Amino acid sequence: MAVASQPIGRRERNKQAKLDRIVAAARELFADHGVDEVTTQQIADKADIGAGTLFLYAKSKGELLLLVQNASYAAALNKGQAAAKSISDTLEAVMAIIRPVVECNRAQVENGRTYLREMVFGDHEEPHHHDALLLSAQTEEAIAEVLGRDKHIQSANAGTLAHIISAVMFLSMAISINATKTVNELLQELKIQIRVLLQG
């Protein structure tokens, strides 16, 4: 006999509604002005909540950015994994995973670079930081899965290669000298670098 799922209580619905408003407000303000130009008070005002309430959901502006970007990153990674499944060429399959992640990160260049900085240097005990690191690990796993399909790559090396490819991708997106490069320019550079790694 199936157990009926319990309806969500009013308190949980209110919490989710506040979270949805916070994410929507932060996403809009960050996209319009850049994370560095937005204050937590502006986000709280736009979400129609008190600043104290805002910090119950994210303890810093960096955590708010992680909260907002994690959802976009997860969707981009899912899109890339789905595309890679139907591609037999290893390099092209890896690029299929990477492409939407880079596009997501570069939707607003400075926000994307700040996101990566928060991922590396943020408080690892905060939940949104933990989620960002988990997404990074999932990216590596997706790349390793593609590499593992290639009979020319030793299975023992697939994880290490995936780790290197992921690191190269994140560094390429984060460094200042690439800030003015287009998505296509960045992807072309990454493709060249990954090709060399896979040939080695």
Contact 120, 59 (CB under 8 A): no
For 103-150, the pLDDT digits (tens) are 999 999 999 999 999 998 888 888 899 999 999 999 999 999 999 999
The structure tokens listed for 200 are 């080695």
Q: What is the pLDDT of residue 200?
A: 67
Round to whole Å and give the CA distance between 64 and 79.
Answer: 23
Q: How far is CA 56 from the centre of its chain?
A: 22
Question: Residue ranges of the alpha helices (H) in the chain?
Answer: 10-33, 40-47, 51-57, 61-84, 90-105, 109-121, 127-148, 155-174, 183-199
Cβ contacts of 188 within 8 Å, gap of 6 or more: none
- Phi and psi dihedrals of 22, rounded to 5? -65, -50
| Residues above pLDDT 70, as percent of the chain | 96
Low-confidence residues of the chain, pLDDT below 70? Answer: 1-8, 200
Q: What is the pLDDT of residue 168?
A: 96
Q: What is the pLDDT of residue 9?
A: 80
